[in-house]
Structure 1
Amino acid sequence: MSESVLETNYEGLELVHRGKVRDMYAIPGHDDKLLMVATDRISAFDVVIDAIPGKGKVLTQLSLFWFDLLGDVVDNHLITADVSEYPEACQPYAAELDGRSMLVHKTQPLSVECIVRGYISGSFWKAYQKNTTVCGFAFPDDLQESDKLPEVIFTPSTKADLGDHDENISVNTMEELLGKEMTRKISDISIELYSRAADFARSKGIIIADTKFELGLLGEEKKLILIDEVLTPDSSRFWPLDQYKPGKGQPSFDKQFLRDYLSSLDWDKNPPAPKVPQDIIDKTKARYEEALEKITKG
């Protein structure tokens, strides 16, 4: 079994942020760039749970695939993922960085995360069961779990710090934070990205039920671009098309498998996380790898 990369520490580079999965570094002499490293950490319910060997490489390769496929919808922060082209300060760590890192433009991330939903599942399904108006959207009262929604919807959320929980907000609240015109632009971009990706993934036998994008502002002109990871099993729900049956939860290629296991435990979903059995780690790893294989190669 390959060794997991749970945490990185690179002398000569400045760690500027350690997130749930990614470690971000500033590079001396390159103030407009960042090194983004996808570790093998896996989080659920906004808590870092464990490590899935090779997961960071799966996330990186999928993101690179989608950046290329969707590049005509909106520009993104990728400069290169070729380690040989990274600045000299990164070269001592080339072996570990290869396949799990990107050199990216430094941006000002938006204060909201951009969630797009095509199907009703997860926390959204739970909220719908209590009230058929969710996040400002009124839905028919006869939807079943995992049903396709009448239309693709944009439901933003606030960003959480490590260990905290993201919080859904209404589009009206987002307009108060970012303005109506910016909110409309972000919503249009997010829905177009999801719709294009969902159509492509369906041709590969995968339903993308929902996903989360992050956008940022680049340079003095504050150009809106796509940042972070995109359309990975960490940020999306991937369901096998040939097993899709509304009215219940779906089998998945993403970390819902891990979430389901954790939900079966007597755990309050706050740190510290429970120890995850090796077979759950192995099965989660296999699902991530299958998603990469199906989407990028089919």
Structure 2
Amino acid sequence: MKLVYKGKTKDVFLLEDGNYLLKFKDDMTGENGVFDPGSNSVGLTMEGAGRAGLRLTKMFFEILNKKGIPTHYVDADIDAATMTVKPAVLFGKGLEVICRYRAVGSFLRRYGMYAEEGQALDAFVEVTLKDDDRQDPPITEDALDMLGILSHDEYKVLKELTKKIGAIVKEELGKRGIELYDIKFEFGRVGEDRHIALIDEISGGNMRAFKDGKHVEPLELEKLMLE
């Protein structure tokens, strides 16, 4: 097993069979001890956060696989806080795709002249470049195509998958009285045919969720969803 990447919330290892092992950490993104899924830095460490994120990720990936939605998921070991995944090729140096149902976070900071906090959004899809130095700038479909990162046809697939997966997550949370405000996904090209598939994770650390008007922290979200 060879370490190939040390990330903010996960380390990535290459396995002998060509698959990869993701090791989930207890570190979470945010600033000054406050969790923020859109942050570019580790802001806090919460014991058990890695396993909690993996439990939720395992649940969602297995739901998606049953529905025939392409992912890189193979299996997970909760005790070891690891997930085995198929190799994937990133778009450029990585993209983040956000599906927004409420105007909060960076959306509100940018568009606050027109949007009110918590305003309902119709599954608004936003793509940003994974670029910490430039604060993960948003990028348009045309720019993605012109820069050779993603073609127009691939963008359509990406957007459709984002809305479909977001709706599934939203529905699952809704069954437990939890409202999804926004969620962040990552995609890559997987397999010999290089089809677009969901990669990385689906956990409380990638979304904003609220119950009874109060923000649900990632560890609490895992308890509410899996108890």
TM over 0.5: yes
Structure 2 unaligned regions, length at least 5: 31-38
Question: How far apart are residue 203 of structure 1 and its match?
Answer: 1.9
The answer as to 2:73 corresponding to 1:78 is yes
Cα 1:101–1:121 change in 2 (3 A) is: same
The answer as to 2:186 corresponding to 1:214 is yes
Q: How many pairs are equivalent?
A: 214
Q: Moved runs in structure 1, 4+ residues, more than 6 A?
A: none
The answer as to 2:68 corresponding to 1:98 is no
Any residues of structure 2 matched to 1:141-290 within 5 Å, and which?
143-149=115-121, 151-161=122-132, 165-176=135-146, 177-230=149-202, 232-240=203-211, 242-243=212-213, 251-253=214-216, 287-290=217-220
Provide the C-alpha distance between the structure 2 equivalents of 1:204 and 1:102, rounded to a whole number of angstroms: 26
Decide whether the 8 Å contact of 1:21 with 1:38 is kept in 2.
yes
Provide the C-alpha distance between the structure 2 equivalents of 1:18 and 1:62, rounded to a whole number of angstroms: 22
Q: Secondary structure at the match of 1:224?
A: strand
Provide the C-alpha distance between the structure 2 equivalents of 1:210 and 1:50, rounded to a whole number of angstroms: 21
Q: Among the aligned pairs, what percent are the same residue? A: 23
Q: TM-score, normalised by structure 2?
A: 0.87
Cα 1:201–1:99 change in 2 (3 A) is: farther
Q: Secondary structure at the match of 2:186?
A: strand
Q: TM-score, normalised by structure 1?
A: 0.67
Residue 19 of structure 2: which of 33, 38, 54 is its match?
33
Look up the match of 1:91: none
Decide whether the 8 Å contact of 2:204 with 2:219 is kept in 1.
no
Amino acid at match of 1:180: H
Look up the match of 1:122: 105
Q: Deviation string for 1:127-168 (max 9, x for gaps)?
A: 1124x4xxxxxxxxxx4201211x21110000125x762111
Look up the match of 2:63: 69
Q: Deviation string for 1:27-59 (max 9, x for gaps)?
A: 2x32x2111000111222311223210100011
